[in-house]
């Protein structure tokens, strides 16, 4: 799996554009403009983009680390996973925390196989 730097930068740029601080900030420097809203400077925009770029790289590393760990269901056929999901969904007893976690894990595995 190669590193898709363009996707990382696109994600960081999307996060940056959605950040309200990219467009305007409050001025907390002492003086008559104290507390008023003002446009961000280029240096502040670069700092915001750098923050989001670091976060995008961290997100990529976390995703890659999770993908490197093999699933506990990697040897189980898909039909058996679907059957177990169906059994858990249609059981008469209430789903406790462990059964809900099991159901979530099975659904996640099925979704990853479908993708």
Non-local (6+) Cβ contacts of 39 within 8 A are 23, 24
- Domain shared by 89 and 64, yes or no: no
What is the crossing angle of helices 42-68 and 5-18, to 10°?
A: 130
Separation CA 15–CA 26 (nearest Å)? 20
What is the CA 92 to chain-centroid distance, rounded? Answer: 34
Q: What's the whole-model pTM score? A: 0.62
Task: Please tell me the total count of domains within the chain.
Answer: 2
pLDDT, averaged across the chain: 90
pLDDT tens, position by position, 54-81: 999 999 999 888 888 877 787 888 999 9
Assigned domain for 39 exists: yes
Which range marks the domain in which residue 87 is found? 78-114
Separation CA 62–CA 2 (nearest Å)? 15
Q: Where are the alpha helices (DSSP H) in 21-96?
A: 42-68, 78-89
């Amino acid at each position: 799996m190669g590193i898709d730097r363009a996707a990382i930068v696109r994600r960081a740029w999307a996060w940056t554009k959605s950040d309200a601080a990219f467009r305007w900030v409050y001025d907390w420097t002492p003086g008559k403009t104290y507390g008023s809203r003002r446009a961000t400077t280029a240096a502040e925009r670069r700092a915001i983009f750098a923050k989001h770029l670091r976060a995008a790289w961290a997100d990529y590393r976390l995703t890659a680390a999770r993908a490197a760990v093999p699933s506990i269901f990697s040897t189980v056929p898909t039909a058996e996973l679907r059957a177990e999901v169906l059994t858990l969904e249609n059981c008469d007893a209430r789903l406790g925390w462990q059964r809900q976690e099991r159901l979530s894990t099975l659904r996640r595995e099925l979704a990853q196989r479908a993708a």
